[in-house]
Amino acid sequence: MMLSGWGRYPRADCRVLAPRGEAGLRAVLAQETSLIARGNGRSYGDPALNPRATLTLRQTDRLLGFDPATGMLEAEAGVLLPDIIETFLPRGWFVPVTPGTKFVTLGGMIAADVHGKNHHCAGSFGDHVESLELMLADGRLLRCSPTENRELFDATRGGMGLTGVIRSVRIRMLKVESAWIRQETLKTRNLAQTMDGFEASRGWTYSVAWIDCLAVGKKLGRALLYRGEHARPEELATDKRAQPFAVPPRRPKTVPFDFPGFALNRWSVTAFNALYYAMGRSGTAIVDYDSYFYPLDAMQDWNRIYGRGGFVQYQCVLPKAASREGLVDMLGRVARAGNGSFLSVLKLLGPGRGMLSFPLEGYTLALDFPATPQTFALLRELDAIVAAHGGRVYLAKDARTDAAALRKGYDGLDAFEAARREADPFRKFSSLQSERLGL
């Protein structure tokens, strides 16, 4: 059947298999020569596509154990984040790291080693994994952790599913006192102010900025920086204090059809960015976790606004010392090209761990563009800027970069390849992305 990632580019006709249970998975591994595991299909490009065999593991979604004394949760890899949040937030536990959408599986979060708005203080998802059970190409089931089969663990977090199939996971949940976030918004006038804002927000648990990617000259890099803390019950309105974990249910809206290609153009995107910035106000507010962490999830199928041709998200990170120069260069290039994105996100990351894991200490910028030839030309230019500044692109978002850029960006690649050779010598685990990148 035709499959794609969240960006709906590229699409591929994939043979989909749904093995049941450990024995079913082992049988499929014995039979197939090339396959990849797929969670909820929320990576943007082609890492969860393999025309020969794509394994859907969404139905492997049982919660296996929880220790309320320590917050240790054991669950199968196909469990979706909303399932975890709905089960544990009312008991005072939240996920230690969450990406910008909640429609992801545990396995997918490890394969992409996702980061969240708290990366500067909490690290990425893999840093909260106590251990995981990985089924290798030969059907062996191995427990991997920072102390057991460590190389394989480091290769698997961020390894885009290329080391094996994650069966189950043990993660350490985060104790919270309410389902609400105390959010403070800072409106900045230029990139220097935005970066100063991030530095000044180091003591905050969460920080992220929406950036006006079409502002030029003195306004380049102007942004709305949102920082947040889990709210304590006494910070809530009096009527909410008695039930700090009760949040109003959100009725998701849907995008009912694919927007035509011309709906997003230089003028509409510029107008949107300018308006969004103008509407932003500095100040403090108490917002529910859903609105704070997952604003886009409120609009189901928002990927349809880019039309049938799909879109690509470009996310890169630049080492801190080179961030300012690189960001000025990139934002200038994007503004000149004029096909800027609705959603441009900037965040200061902390140091990273793992071999193919994305984060490194510095600024990460994420941009959306329609999948057009002009976009691909622009992104090749951005790749060059990223490489020149010692940065790298995020594989969970990628649909188009090349092997040379990957090798330049990821200094852990040799270690990854060595670990993978040992775990999967015949490269049974492979995706359109891994083939494109020569992995």
- Between 60 and 344, name the residue whose CB sits nearer to other proteins: 60
Q: Please choose, out of 19-27, 129-137, 172-180, 191-199, the segment that lies near other proteins by the rule CB under 8 A.
A: 19-27
| Size of the residue set binding other proteins (CB under 8 A) | 18
- Which C-beta is closer to other proteins: that of 59 or that of 284? 59
Least distance between other proteins and beta carbon 120 (Å): 32
- Identify the residue among 31, 59, 70, 300 touching other proteins (CB under 8 A): 59
Coil, strand or helix: which one is 248?
coil
Of 198, 290, 289, 296, the residue nearest 255 (C-alpha)? 296
Which residue from 12, 63, 285, 387 is in contact with other proteins, where contact means CB under 8 A? Answer: 63
Structure token pair of residue 125: 């998802």
Minimum CB separation of residue 59 from other proteins in Å reads: 5
Structure tokens, 347: 């965040």
Closer CB to other proteins, residue 62 or residue 250?
62
Q: Is 413 in the site for other proteins (CB under 8 A)?
A: no
The partner residues of 285 in beta bridges, in order of sequence, read 183
Q: Check binding of 87 to other proteins (CB under 8 A).
A: yes
State in angstroms the smallest separation of the CB of 15 from other proteins. 7
Alpha carbons 119 and 126: distance in angstroms, whole number: 11
CA nearest to 3, candidates 61, 45, 57: 45
Instruction: Give CA–CA dist 348/359, Å, rounded.
Output: 10
Q: Which lies closer to other proteins via its Cβ, residue 15 or residue 320? A: 15
* Nearest approach, Cβ of residue 255 and other proteins (Å): 13
* Distance of closest approach, residue 362 Cβ to other proteins, in angstroms: 39
Nearer to other proteins, 83 or 196 (CB): 83
How far is Cα 345 from Cα 6, in angstroms, rounded to an integer? Answer: 17
> Tokens for 311?
């879109």
| Backbone φ, ψ for residue 339 (5° rounding) | -95, 55
Least gap, CB of 56 to other proteins (angstroms): 5
List, in order, residues 6 or more apart from 35 with CB less than 8 Å away.
Answer: 17, 28, 29, 50, 52, 53, 54, 55, 428, 429, 430
* Pick 87 or 339: Cβ nearer other proteins: 87
Reading the block at residue 57, the tokens are 């593991």
Give the C-alpha separation, 21 to 266, whole Å: 50
Q: Which stretch binds other proteins (CB under 8 A): 15-23, 29-37, 97-105, 323-331?
A: 15-23
321 touches other proteins by CB under 8 A = no
| Interaction of residue 17 with other proteins, rule CB under 8 A | yes
Residue 51 lies near other proteins (rule: CB under 8 A)? no
The backbone torsions φ and ψ at residue 325, rounded to the nearest 5 degrees and listed phi first, read -60, -45
Spell out the SS3 assignment of 331-380: HHHHHHHCCCCCCCEEEEECCCCCCCCCCCCEEEEEEEEECCHHHHHHHH
Using CB under 8 A, pick the residue from 12, 34, 66, 339 that binds other proteins: 66
In the bound state with other proteins, the residue whose beta carbon lies nearer, of 31 and 284, is: 31
**Contact with other proteins (CB under 8 A): which of 20, 202, 218, 336?**
20
Report the relative pairing of strands 253-254 and 299-300 from DSSP bridges: parallel
**Contacting other proteins (CB under 8 A), which of 51, 65, 351, 425?**
65
d(CA 296, CA 311): 16
CB of 384 to other proteins, least distance (A): 39
Choices 64-72, 185-193, 338-346, 390-398 (CB under 8 A): range interacting with other proteins: 64-72
What is the closest distance, in whole angstroms, from the C-beta atom of residue 65 to other proteins in the complex? 6
Of the ranges 16-24, 212-220, 284-292, 371-379, which one interacts with other proteins (CB under 8 A)? 16-24
Where in 259-318 is the site for other proteins (CB under 8 A)? none
Query: 33, 428 in Cβ contact below 8 A?
Result: yes
- 335 Cβ neighbours under 8 A, 6+ residues apart: 213, 214, 215, 216, 220
Task: Check binding of 255 to other proteins (CB under 8 A).
Answer: no
Q: Give the Cα separation of 339 and 214 in Å (integer).
A: 9
Least separation in angstroms between residue 69's CB and other proteins is: 14
| Chain positions contacting other proteins, by CB under 8 A | 1-2, 15-21, 56, 59, 62-66, 76, 87
